[in-house]
């Protein structure tokens, strides 16, 4: 038998916690799948066999085993924050967007649309570039609807 680089040895408490998590079905499918991978590898299943049985890639099995070896059970069950994520608009720029959306529409338009807002934010120099989808997400976050009767930052 080939000695594996990241062997999984679960304690009885860890095994009970994983089995309970799977039975309860509470949690994301990704986390429940990771729990199943840990249980199968602890039972002595090989990585290809686990991958085939759970319909995942072998790389997924190896990543789960590596994460368990490096961070224990919490390292596997809790997702780390994604690196290199940055916000296109900070709070100040978001405030400018809201103020712009609540202002009168530009000449020739009866109301603001997402593309107009994105273009105007770039014209004003608030941001370097901005997509209409980013504008939509920020307006959705404050529950503002450009087409509704109660549009604006403070719905009535």
pLDDT at 4: 67
Domain ranges of the chain: 12-77, 91-141
Give the separation between CA 106 and CA 85, rounded to whole angstroms: 33
Q: Report which of 4, 141, 125, 104 is spatially closest to residue 62, judged by C-alpha positions.
A: 4
pLDDT, mean of each 10-residue run, the chain (156 residues): 71 92 89 94 92 94 92 86 77 92 92 94 93 91 63 52
pLDDT at 148: 55
pLDDT at 156: 52
DSSP symbols for 53-90: HHT--HHHHHHHHHHHHHHHHHHHHSPPPPTT---SS-
pLDDT at 1: 42
Q: How many residues does the structure list for the chain?
A: 156
């Amino acid at each position: 038998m080939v000695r594996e680089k990241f062997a999984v040895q679960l304690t009885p408490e860890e095994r009970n916690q994983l089995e309970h998590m799977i039975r309860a079905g509470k949690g994301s499918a990704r986390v429940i799948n990771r729990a199943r991978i840990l249980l199968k590898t602890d039972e002595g299943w090989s990585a290809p066999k686990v991958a085939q049985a759970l319909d995942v890639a072998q790389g997924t099995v190896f990543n789960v085993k590596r994460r368990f070896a490096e961070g224990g059970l919490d390292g596997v069950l809790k997702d780390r924050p994604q690196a290199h994520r940055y916000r296109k608009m900070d709070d100040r720029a978001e405030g400018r967007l809201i103020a712009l959306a609540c202002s009168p529409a530009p000449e020739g338009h009866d109301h603001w649309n997402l593309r107009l807002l994105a273009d105007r934010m770039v014209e004003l120099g608030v941001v370097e570039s901005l997509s209409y989808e980013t504008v939509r997400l920020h307006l959705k976050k404050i529950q503002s609807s450009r087409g509704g009767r109660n549009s604006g930052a403070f719905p009535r």
